Amino acid sequence: MLQLDMMIDGQAVKGTGTIDVINPATGSPFAAVQRATVDQVNEAVQSAKNAFASWSQTSDSERQTACNKLAAAIEANMPELMELVTKESGKPMGGLNGVGAGMEVGGSMAWTQFTAGLELPVDVIQDDDNARVEVHRKPLGVVASITPWNWPLLIAIWHVVPAIRTGNTVVIKPSPFTPVATTRFVELAQEVLPPGVLNLVNGEGDVGGALTTHPDIAKIVFTGSTATGRKIMESASASLKRLTLELGGNDAGIVLPDVDVKEVAPKIFGACFHNNGQTCAALKRLYVHESQYEEMCSELAKMAQQVKVGDGLAEDTELGPIQNEAQLNIVTSLAESARADGGRFLTGGKRMDREGYFFEPTIVADLTDGSRLVDEEPFGPIVPVIKYSDVDEVIARANANERGLGGSVWSSDTNKAIEFAQKLECGSAWVNQHGTIQPNAPFGGVKQSGVGVEFGTYGLEEYTSIQTLNIAK
C-alpha cells in the first residue's frame, strides 16, 4: 500500500498514526497518509511564518518563474497524478464529455501557468504638484488552505498558486478522503520552492480547527460545506483573518419554452452529471416549461440509462462512484425522500449491486420546491426535473434557495436568455451552458454559497492587502 508523509519546512514528516485512503471504486484502502498532531500544525505554521520573511521580499519575476516551474512539474508527472486522482476520488481518467482526471490534472497545469502570468501593478491614482499617491498590493502572510474531496488536486492549485504568486506562504490541509495527489504535488513543489513556503498537514476536524484558529494565520481559503464554512468564519473572527469561502451551491437551470430539446438535452445532462454530480457548480435543479417537460424528461432518462458507470481506471468509464460512503448515504436518503414526496423515478434511484460506492444515475420527475431533493444539494448522480408554466415565476423560485453559486438559462433567443440570466441571484450566470469556469474569469458565490472570489486578477487580489503610499511633493 502506498505510504505518504507530511511536509513541514521542506522535510518529510511522520505523524502519530496514519489515515487510510479508500478507493471508492472498491471500498478498500490503497494508500495511507500520516496524521498530524496539533503540535505539528503549530510547527507547520511557524515554518511558513519564518519563510514568509524572505519569500514576501522576492521579486515578482522570481515568483512568476517558480509558479511556471510548478506547472512544468505537474506536466512532467501528469500520468502519475492522474492515476492518483482517479484512485482517491473515483473520477474516471477520461470521463463524461472529457471531464475526468485528465481534465483535473491538465487544468491544474493550465491554472498554474495562467496564474503565473498575472500581475498586480502599482496603481498611481494621483501625480501632480502636491503629491504622488500610489496603491500597492502586499502579501498577507501565512495562508491556511483547506480543500475538499471532489476535485482534490485542482482545488489545491486554486488555493496554493495565487497565494504563492503574491508572496504568501501556505499550510495546506487536504480532505482526509483525498490527500494523495495533493501530497504528491507538495512533494514535487519542494524541488522548486524554498523550505517552509508550502507545508502540508493531514487530519480531520481537530487539525483543521488548530489551523483555522491559529493566531499566525493571516488568511483562510476553504472550499467545502456551508456548515463548515460558518464554523471557519466564526473561528476567524477572533483575529479578523481574511477569508475566501467557496461553499457549494444548488444551481438552478431554467429551460425556456423555445429550445430544441434534443439539441440541448445532451449539454444539460453533462452539466448535471459530470464528475457524477459531485461538483459545486453542477446543474442540480432543472426547471422545464410544461410544454416541453415530458420530452426533456424522456431525453435525459435515455442518457442516464446509456451512460457507462464503472471503475475510473477502465478506459470506457464515463461516470465513477460517489467518493465516500457518507456521501452515498446522503444521496440514498434524498432518493428515499423523493419517493415519499411522490417523485416519479424515470431511471435509477438506488445503490448499484457491486463493490464500491456506486449509485445509479437517477432522473426524478414531478417534484417541486419544498422537496428535499429540490431544496438541498445532493452532490451526487441524482437530478430533479421540475415543471413550470410562468417564466417570471420560475426565476423567483430559482432565487428562493439559500444558495447562490451559479445558475443558467437555456433558450434559442440569446438576448432573452441574457435578460433572464441577469435576474438570477448567483455569482456566475451562464447562457446555454452551465458550470463553465476558466482561469481569467472570477468565480464565487453569493448568499450562503460563499465569501469572495477566485481566479484571475480579482481572485489574486484577495491574497493581498492594500497599502496606500502618499508622497508629498
pLDDT in tens, the chain (473 residues): 999 999 999 999 999 999 999 999 999 999 999 999 999 999 999 999 999 999 999 999 999 999 999 999 999 999 999 999 999 999 999 999 999 999 999 999 999 999 999 999 999 999 999 999 999 999 999 999 999 999 999 999 999 999 999 999 999 999 999 999 999 999 999 999 999 999 999 999 999 999 999 999 999 999 999 999 999 999 999 999 999 999 989 999 999 999 999 999 999 999 999 999 999 999 999 999 999 999 999 999 999 999 999 999 999 999 999 999 999 999 999 999 999 999 999 999 999 999 999 999 999 999 999 999 999 999 999 999 999 999 999 999 999 999 999 999 999 999 999 999 999 999 999 999 999 999 999 999 999 999 999 999 999 999 999 999 999 99
Catalytic (active site) residue 280:
yes
∠ CA 251-97-379, nearest 5°, is: 35
Q: Could you say which of 43, 246, 299, 360 is catalytic?
A: 246
10 DSSP assignment: T
Exposed e or buried b for every residue in 69-92, given b needs 16+ CB within 10 A?
bbbebbbebbeebbbbbbbbbbbb
Catalytic (active site) residue 62:
no
Q: What architecture is domain 2-247+447-472?
A: 3-Layer(aba) Sandwich (3.40)
Q: Where on the phi/psi map is residue 353: left (φ > 0), alpha (ψ -120 to 50), or beta? A: beta
pTM tops 0.85: yes
Count of CB atoms situated within 10 Å of the CB of 310: 19
Taking Cα atoms as reference points, which of 13, 70, 15 lies closest to residue 47? 13
Nearest-angstrom CA–CA distance, 204 and 217: 18
Taking Cα atoms as reference points, which of 460, 458, 285 lies closest to residue 370? 285
Q: Which residue has the cell 500500500?
A: 1
How many Cα atoms sit within 13 Å of 190 on the Cβ side?
A: 16
Q: Could you say which of 280, 360, 377, 462 is catalytic?
A: 280
Q: Is the dihedral of CA 125, 127, 128, 132 positive or negative?
A: positive
Annotation: CATH topology of 252-431:
Aldehyde Dehydrogenase; Chain A, domain 2 (3.40.309)
Domain coordinates in residue numbering, the chain? 2-247+447-472, 252-431
Rg of the Cα atoms in the chain: 23
Q: 195-198 — which CB contacts under 8 Å span 24+ positions?
A: 195/9, 195/10, 195/11, 195/47, 195/51, 196/9, 196/10, 196/47, 196/48, 196/50, 196/51, 196/169, 197/48, 197/51, 197/55, 197/164, 197/169, 197/170, 198/7, 198/160, 198/164, 198/169, 198/170, 198/172
Name the H helices within 191-323.
205-212, 226-236, 261-273, 293-306
Nearest-angstrom CA–CA distance, 285 and 377: 9
Nearest-angstrom CA–CA distance, 134 and 370: 52
> Residue 248 has what pLDDT?
87
Taking Cα atoms as reference points, which of 434, 401, 402, 464 lies closest to residue 163? 464
